[in-house]
Structure 1
């Protein structure tokens, strides 16, 4: 069974391949020009999707078609080229052009996951008996499309991460004049309101000590997006130690979420050659 359906994998690969530089099949530095051929990028891309979805080790996913070392080397090469970040940006631009990002309402919240291997952005988790954990401060639009994130140790509070997270709005181009930021009670402080005022943003912040259903505001969209991201087991239990690698996997997951939402929402209003026969 494929890790992702073909109606989602194929457009992802087509755009990903367009971002890759042309490389010769054989190493040009070999004196005879007949060294072992380079492993196909498509094979490694499929392995990256399997790693992201299943969360297994590189050794477990390697086989006769591709070794664990090749997957790591190609992953690091693509990170240096910025391919994952470019892919996510293209997906966001396409979604905004076809469906439209709901940027007048955004939601920000943190989520703690396990990080058994520690690493650059791991810290003692206050909800897991002090074990190593990872916190992501995620931001979404009014529908739940992921716009950006900030990675930190699990022992960091959500409130100080709000400013760096909102800085990701600068990458989205023109913004609406009036933007409402939906936050939970963890952000209920004078510092948060002062930060929003400085940026010209309106804040809808839940009050501490007052019970209210999450449906009372538009904050639930970011909670749903965290659930979407945690469905990728590489993110729910992160063994990567370098922040650049973690961000690359998050960019790939956010791209999948964005393209999947784009196809589902455009299915009733658009027609294209590879359109699924039924609504996904």
Structure 2
């Protein structure tokens, strides 16, 4: 059984395949083992993203765990995962439109039992090793940027690297951007940073209680839930290298964007492979 519906994996793979650098491997004696097809490796990596587990658990007679890791590293070096996320955002912006006027940022702490880069003692898990994801979403909740750090890091210092991921849109940003934050960011340093970046803000004051559904930052909480509940490799981080951790976040974010694009486009457009029922 596929880990994701074919309506998502089909466009995901087509764009991913278009981004993979073409490679000609010719052995001088013509006796080398055939290269495992990229589609087989991609499906296995996607299964690991959704189901979690080790590379050995997802290896089989088609592909080994070593090949999964080496092909993953090859694609990371080529920037394929980040490019896939970027392509998904651009497609959504062209077909539906991103709400970049209102942004929300929040941190999410997850387990990282193996340690490694971007890990630290978790303040919510008895000091065990954990990772924090500082996530940036647009007004509808689509993930557009993320900064990784140790679980012990405060949200506020991560705001700058998180907002700097907006640079992926170049000059196509609105003149006025409002950033919605919780009380953990309520400080003069945060306001000075947002002023420096030319952004407005809506920050919940410290000590004040305001139901999250009365604010515009509930969408970032929902997207954090999508990351941790829909992708087991993001709920428990076992990869020790920062570039690998970032690649999994980018791939998961691309899946979320494509899923939303299909749902939104179903009522606005018609195409040959459009499903009879709304996904």
**TM-score with structure 2 length normalisation?**
0.98
| TM superposition shift of 1:224 | 0.5
Distance in 1 (CA, whole Å) between partners of 2:173 and 2:32 is: 52
Unaligned runs of 5+ in 1: none
Question: Which residue in the other structure is 1:32 paired with?
Answer: 29
Preserved CA contact (<8 Å) 2:179 2:200? yes
Instruction: Give the superposed CA RMSD.
Output: 0.9
Aligned-partner SS, 2:144: strand
1:21 aligned residue? 21
Which of 150, 158, 161 in structure 2 is aligned with 1:161? Answer: 158
Deviations along 1:153-179, one digit per CA (max 9) or x if unpaired, are: 000000011111111111113111111
Q: Secondary structure at the match of 1:238?
A: coil
Quote the Cα distance in structure 1 between the aligned partners of 2:200 and 2:40: 46
Partner secondary structure for residue 201 of structure 2:
strand
> Distance between the aligned counterparts of 2:167 and 2:19, measured in 1?
23
Deviations 1:50-103 (A, max 9, x none): 010011100001000110000000000000111111111110100000000000
* Deviation readout 1:185-216 (Å, 9 max, x if unpaired): 10011111111111111110001111110011
Counterparts of residues 234-249 of structure 1 (less than 5 Å): 234-249=233-248
CA distance in 2, matches of 1:85, 1:37: 28
| Runs of at least 5 residues in structure 2 that lack an aligned partner in the other structure | none
- What residue is the counterpart of 1:128 in the other structure? 125
Which position in structure 1 is the counterpart of 2:81?
84
Aligned position for 2:146:
149
Give 3-state SS (helix, strand or coil) of 1:84's partner: helix
Query: Hey, what's the Cα distance between the residues in 1 that align with 2:100 and 2:21?
Result: 33
How many angstroms does 1:23 deviate by?
Answer: 3.1
Residue matched to 1:72: 69
One of 82, 85, 92 as aligned partner of 1:95: 92
Identify which of 178, 185, 198 aligns with 2:183. 185
Query: Given the two structures, how large is their TM-score scaled by the length of structure 1?
Result: 0.97
Which of 159, 168, 172 does residue 171 from structure 1 map onto? 168
1:21 positional shift: 2.4
Partners of 2:21 and 2:208 lie apart in 1 by: 54
Q: 1:170 and 1:215 mapped to 2: Cα distance? A: 29
Q: Alpha-carbon deviations, 1:233-252, whole Å to 9, x = none? A: 00000000000000001110
> How far apart, CA to CA, are the structure 2 residues paired with 1:90 and 1:113?
27
> Stretches of 4+ moved more than 4 A in 1?
none
Distance 2:23 2:197 in 1: 45
Q: How many angstroms does 1:217 deviate by?
A: 1.0
Where does 1:38-49 land on structure 2 (aligned, <5 Å)?
A: 38-49=35-46
Q: Distance in 2 between matches of 1:22 and 1:211?
A: 54
